Amino acid sequence: MAATLKLEIVTPEAMIFSGEVDMVTLSGVEGEMGIMPGHEPVMTQLTAGEVTVRQSGQNLFLAVGDGFVQITATRVNVLTDMAIKADDIDETMAAEAMQRAEARLSQKLSDEESATVHAALVHATTQLHVKRRHKK
């Protein structure tokens, strides 16, 4: 059994994370999942939230949006529409984005627009949530 997992976190804009890790914790549709090497192959949906990556004794936190996760014994592939490392989150920017999204929600929107705005709101809230939890 492999001692590490190959984790890849990819968004349509970029490859956010790629490397060998010891453990990944993420929130799926059925709740939090901790994934260690040798996991059963699973395909599931990812919900917006926090991803914790344990790499050589250190924890790395990321805020992610909705997406898909594919897990095999040696690999974890995460496809999501947003992923940002906790250290890179700009709290003021996220808060502003949240306010903008909320303001737009109060206006009359088409289905398409409201889907976009909702996604933006979820992204901003998740970012804020993750950032505040890990602020020292």
- Residues near another protein (CB under 8 A) are 8, 10-15, 28-30, 40-45, 68, 70, 72-73, 75, 77, 79, 81, 112-113, 115-116
Measured distance CA(121)–CA(70) in Å, rounded: 26
Q: Compare residues 82 and 131 and give the one whose CB is closer to another protein.
A: 82
Q: Compare residues 114 and 134 and give the one whose CB is closer to another protein.
A: 114
Closest contact distance (angstroms) between CB of 49 and another protein is: 15
Closest contact distance (angstroms) between CB of 57 and another protein is: 28
Crossing angle of helices 111-133 and 91-105, rounded to 10°: 150
Measured distance CA(74)–CA(36) in Å, rounded: 9
3-state SS class at 84: strand
Measured distance CA(57)–CA(21) in Å, rounded: 10
Local structure of residue 110 (DSSP, 8 states): -
Asked whether the beta carbons of 69 and 77 are under 8 A apart, the reply is yes
Closest contact distance (angstroms) between CB of 12 and another protein is: 5
Q: Compare residues 3 and 43 and give the one whose CB is closer to another protein.
A: 43
Q: Compare residues 53 and 131 and give the one whose CB is closer to another protein.
A: 53
Q: Which amino acid is at 132?
A: R
